[in-house]
A = this chain, B = another copy of it.
Amino acid sequence: MSIVRKISESAVHRLSLYLRILEDLESEQRETVSSEEMSGRSATTAAQVRKDLSLFGSFGKRGWGYDVADLAGRLRKILGLDRQWRVALVGAGRIGSALVEYGGFGERGYDVVAIFDSDASKVGEKWGGLRVRDIGEFEEVASEQSVEIVILAIPVEAVPSVMEHVDRAGVRGILNFAPTKLKVPEGVAVKDVNMVMELEALSFALSQEDGER
């Protein structure tokens, strides 16, 4: 199953969504599901669901639908959730703590193996069994721990100095919470989580309504 086609950002998001729906169905003990029902629980059409899945193979049975557990497993594999990812958290502030507390990451295959901060007063604290380390140790610890993904939960002004450490450590992906566009070496994947942008999209939508009325 070697996939060559480029999969769009939105298709990948929908796959995540489908997986979440399937997990709900699993907890409801459902055996099968149709593209029709999947579309009802997401915000798409049945055709979209089938098209998205067909990008990766043929998982359903005609006249019958999809096996919930089987499809969930396949989506997990497609999304890279069938293995463990070694993750470092950089930034032991509020967002970082929300993430560590949330905890759901371990279950989904993301193992937080180290936590860093540049604030000397935070270094040394214990967070869920891990000691907060100085960012200066990043390169060494990250390579020792085979860190592949960094969660970057630091303020914008700290980004340049932190990124120097991160760039040198051969990390493959960054989940970026800082509201700024990261400059990263070729081959490093970045995904942004940006609540300010979403809030702006919201007030844009509301303003548009006002204008139309």
Contact = CB atoms under 8 A, between A and B. Distances in A.
Interface of A: 2-4, 7, 9, 12-13, 15-17, 19-20, 41-43, 78-81, 85, 93-95, 97-99, 101-102, 104-105, 108-110, 148-149, 172-175, 177, 179-181, 187, 189, 191-209, 211-212
A109 B204 CA distance: 13
Number of copies: 2
Given A17-B197, A94-B98, A43 B203 contact: no
A212 B72 CA distance: 23
A102 B110 contact: no
Given A181-B41, A195-B193, A203 B149 contact: yes
A89 B175 CA distance: 25
A206 B189 contact: yes
A13 B108 CA distance: 28
Contacts of A16: 196-197, 200-201
Contact of A199 (B110, B195, B196, B199): B110
A110 to B, nearest CB: 6
